[in-house]
Amino acid sequence: MSELTDLYQEVVLDHGKRPRNFGPLEGATHRAEGLNPLCGDRITVFAKLEDGALREARFEGSGCAISKASASVMTGAVKGKTPAEIDALFDRFHRLVTEGPAPGDEEALGKLAVFSGVHDYPTRVKCASLAWHALRAALAGQGVPVSTE
Ligand code: ZN
C-alpha cells in the first residue's frame, strides 16, 4: 500500500508541476469550465470529438496539484475513447477515489489507478474529480460552467 501511496505522490507532484496536454486545443468541438470553490480550482477542458470518439483532450486553468495532476492524467487516458467509455471510466475512477481500490482497477484504469491515494483524503475527492465533471459536461454539450458545489 505504501508503494502505491509513494507512486501517487510522485504522479501528483510530477503532473501537478508539469501538466501534460496543457493549453488551448485548436479545433476543439466541445469545452466546459469546472469550478471547485472549496479549494479554488478552476479548470477548462477542451475536447475534439470525431467520428464518435475523442481524438484529443486538453485543459487549462489553475488549481491545486491534485486537480492539475488529475486533469493531466485524465486528458491522456480518455484519448480515443467514446463518450460512453469515458462515462464508464469516470464511474470506476469516482468509485476508486470515494470508496477505495477494487479488483481489476489497475487493468481498467491504468495510470488513473494511482489516484486511489485520494481515498485517504475525502476533501480532495472534488479536486480529483473536477476535470472529469468538466469533460463530461463538455461532451454533454452544456455550455454553462460546472461547479462541484
Ligand atoms: Zn484542489
Is the model's pLDDT at 4 over the cut of 90? no
Are the beta carbons of 135 and 47 closer than 8 angstroms? yes
DSSP one-letter string for the chain = -HHHHHHHHHHHHHHHHS-SSBS--TT-SEEEEEEETTTTEEEEEEEEEETTEEEEEEEEEE--HHHHHHHHHHHHHTTT--HHHHHHHHHHHHHHHHH---TTHHHHHGGGGGGGGGGG-GGGHHHHHHHHHHHHHHHTT--SPEE--
Distance (angstroms) between ligand 1 centre and the Cα of 70 equals 10
Q: Please write the tens of the pLDDT for every residue from 104-123.
A: 999 999 999 999 999 988 89
Give the residue-averaged pLDDT of 73-91: 97
Q: Please write the tens of the pLDDT for every residue from 47-74.
A: 999 999 999 999 999 999 999 999 999 9
What is the structure's pLDDT at 35? Answer: 97
Distance (angstroms) between ligand 1 centre and the Cα of 114 equals 17
Distance (angstroms) between ligand 1 centre and the Cα of 121 equals 11
Give the residue-averaged pLDDT of 7-32: 94
Q: C-alpha cell of 137?
A: 459536461
Distance (angstroms) between ligand 1 centre and the Cα of 91 equals 20
Answer whether 0.85 is exceeded by the pTM. Answer: yes
Distance (angstroms) between ligand 1 centre and the Cα of 139 equals 23
